[in-house]
Amino acid sequence: MSTRKLALSDEILMSVEKPARYIGGEINCVYKKKDEVSIRFAMCFPDVYEIGMSHLGIQILYDMFNSWDDVWCERVYSPWPDLDAVMRREQIPLFALESQEPIREFDFLGITIQYEMCYTNILQVLDLAQIPLWAGERGEDDPIVIGGGPCAYNPEPLAPFFDLFYIGEGETQYAPMMELYKKNREQGGSRQDFLQACAMLPGIYVPSLYTTTYQDDGTIAAFSPTKEGIPARIRKEIVSDVSRTYYPDKPLVPFMQVTQDRVVLEIQRGCIRGCRFCQAGQIYRPVRERSLDFLKEKAIRMLESTGCGEISLSSLSSSDYSQLKELVYFLIEETQKRHVNISLPSLRIDAFSLDVMNKIQDVKKSSLTFAPEAGTQRMRDVINKGLTEEDILHGAGQAFRGGWSKVKLYFMLGQPGETDEDVMGIARLAERIAEEYYEIPKEERNGKCQITSSTSFFVPKPFTPFQWAPMNTAEEFLRKAYLVKDTMRAQKNQKSLRYHYHEADVTMLEGVLARGDRRIAPVILRAYQKGCLFDSWNEYFDDRKWKEAFEEEGISPDFYTIRERSLEEILPWDFIDCGVTKRFLKQEYERAMAGIVTPNCRMRCSGCGAAVFGGGVCFENTN
């Protein structure tokens, strides 16, 4: 390994920020002899190393691929703008971290698409790798470019750049796909032959085999396969038994500090809650829990193999994991023995969580987190967030008496049906929490309290009940943010209240990309060509260039953001079947507008459609 030659010279590495991003060789990274494998797979997270290395999904797939003898999976991330410039100038092809060899020599380039604001980085990766950006221009020797992750649930804005998309969880269809690839190669088949064969695999979408036509008003007239026998609908893939599947014993341990410098224990997939704004809550249905034994064993193995000083639990709603108490107390014991920290996601505040927080955190320094998402009960019913004001005030009160004095609150502005009353409700809720604190006698409390509220702007996402809803305009978003701010300032306890809000421009763009169709692809390319990159980084986001790109391509962002879609409209992602039916989503949208709450999956099945996968919470109490 020490003889491994780096792709970049010392001069280059010493001239860029954080050269450790580009050298590979991390603890637990996998080396194979390239002549002894038949498939080389490059796994990409299209953002900077520190972000990409913090992602659990890639660790799982990296472990899975490399557990197969004939596949060698390596990693690649977006070069930071300083190195990007050098690579363009010197025409250095983008390389994989392990072998340091060019990506364009690989069989596959798999790109995980976790958020919309990384789309220009996808083009950067292809471009630096010297792979043609348009899938249609790729030749027999170019890697097969695969997209996956949550944004693959609306792949259309990126469709022309990918050879195929993998819809759903990666653990199931890569093995058959690798077999198909080897078979196709042995038989002397072409790239096209392989893609067509892949299109028959469950969960695989080959965009070049489908076509879209549009009506005069710009909405979709039809979306259909161009060849006979190609499936018209693609159902997402899921792992049915999440306790008998791939999960790393030896996660990679980076040399440099990354965003999440810890081992991650994914306790379950999916969420029973059904918040109407939340995409993850729908597309990862049904809830499937990992067994306690599986989690205990993985926790110990990962701590031993990495030496990490922290372990965290990951899931959409950890309080709903049925054996949480047992797991957490087990971890507390193990971690204290090993001098390791536990970081817990925000739990529902009750006696159990307060006890746990007392054991693992410094009460004076740590804060409580609530995500009411909306300021009034009326609005929380609209979005089906089953957290009441009473829950919050009672939870906060208990915590305040236990010594806590800091609270963080997360809200969204601009959800469907929101009125100014609801907006001001955000400030009022913060005020009421502060009042709860100051009701405690002075000698029993710990100085001033600090209530920090943050709002983000709501972006309607595919496969949610709000997928038809219009977004607010940027002006409306900002007006609402100022309204929250002014209301905060007019209150008695304003000195104990803090308020943060996000930028509006970047949210508008996210709105276009989230619900866009294939006509957005040329806009993304044009923005990239104008220099847009790392759009999720404030210091690099350039709204003016994006606006120019839309204008030059003759595309109106408003069509995708502030337009209300009719319930009959064909949506760009309708051909994907995530289990949850469009009928259910419509019903949920209507219930939202009527302010009717829908019970969670454990209280009562609402017939969303996810039972079609034959497992998880849908069958918990049946045999």
Partner 1 sequence: MKIRIKFTKTGHMRFIGHLDILRYFQKLMRRAEVDIKYSEGFSPHPVMSFAQPLGLGDTSEGEYVDIEVQSTESSAAMLRRLNEKSCPEIRMLKYVQIADETRRSNAMSNVAAADYQILFRKEAPDESALQAMLAQETLVVKRKTKTKEMETDIRPMILSWELGEEGLFVRLATGSTANCKPDTLIEAYDHFRGVTPPPCACHFHRLEMYACREGLFVPLYQLGEELL
Kindly write out the interface string for residues 232-271 of this chain, putting x where it contacts partner 1 by CB under 8 A and - elsewhere: ---------------------x-xxx---x----------
Site for partner 1 in 15-44 (CB under 8 A): 15, 19-20, 23, 25, 27
Neighbours of 400 (CB within 10 A): 23
Angle of CA points 298, 302, 307, to nearest 5°: 155
State which residue, 91 or 257, has the beta carbon closest to partner 1: 257
What's the rounded Cα separation, in Å, for the pair 299 and 324?
Answer: 14
List the beta bridge partners of residue 313: 265
Block residue for tokens 């219009």: 470
State which residue, 361 or 398, has the beta carbon closest to partner 1: 361
State which residue, 59 or 493, has the beta carbon closest to partner 1: 59
What's the rounded Cα separation, in Å, for the pair 442 and 490?
Answer: 24
Q: Are 319 and 387 in contact (CB under 8 A)?
A: no
One-letter amino acid of 408: K
What's the rounded Cα separation, in Å, for the pair 312 and 251?
Answer: 14
Residue 125 corresponds to which tokens in the numbers above?
């990766």
Number of residues that bind partner 1 (CB under 8 A): 33
Torsion of CA 283, 593, 512, 504, to 10 degrees: -110
DSSP-derived 3-state class of residue 424: helix
Binding of partner 1 by 307 (CB under 8 A): yes
State which residue, 171 or 310, has the beta carbon closest to partner 1: 310
CB of 326 to partner 1, least distance (A): 23
CB of 293 to partner 1, least distance (A): 23
Kindly write out the interface string for residues 316-355 of this chain, putting x where it contacts partner 1 by CB under 8 A and - elsewhere: ----------------------xxxx--------------
State which residue, 251 or 462, has the beta carbon closest to partner 1: 251
Binding of partner 1 by 403 (CB under 8 A): no
CB of 552 to partner 1, least distance (A): 40
CB of 78 to partner 1, least distance (A): 18
Binding of partner 1 by 367 (CB under 8 A): no
What's the rounded Cα separation, in Å, for the pair 31 and 33?
Answer: 7
Which residue from 117, 264, 308, 618 is in contact with partner 1, where contact means CB under 8 A? 308
* Integer CA distances (angstroms), 331 to 130, 290, 325, 568, in order: 46, 15, 10, 50
Closest CA to 165 of 135, 132, 189: 135
The separation between the first and the last C-alpha atoms of the chain, rounded to the nearest angstrom, is 52
Binding of partner 1 by 180 (CB under 8 A): no
CB of 19 to partner 1, least distance (A): 4
Stretch of 158-166, 235-243, 300-308, 527-535 contacting partner 1, by CB under 8 A:
300-308
Binding of partner 1 by 13 (CB under 8 A): yes
What's the rounded Cα separation, in Å, for the pair 167 and 173?
Answer: 10
CB of 80 to partner 1, least distance (A): 14
Give the interface with partner 1 as residue ranges (CB under 8 A): 1-2, 4, 6, 10-11, 13-15, 19-20, 23, 25, 27, 253, 255-257, 261, 303-309, 338-341, 360-362
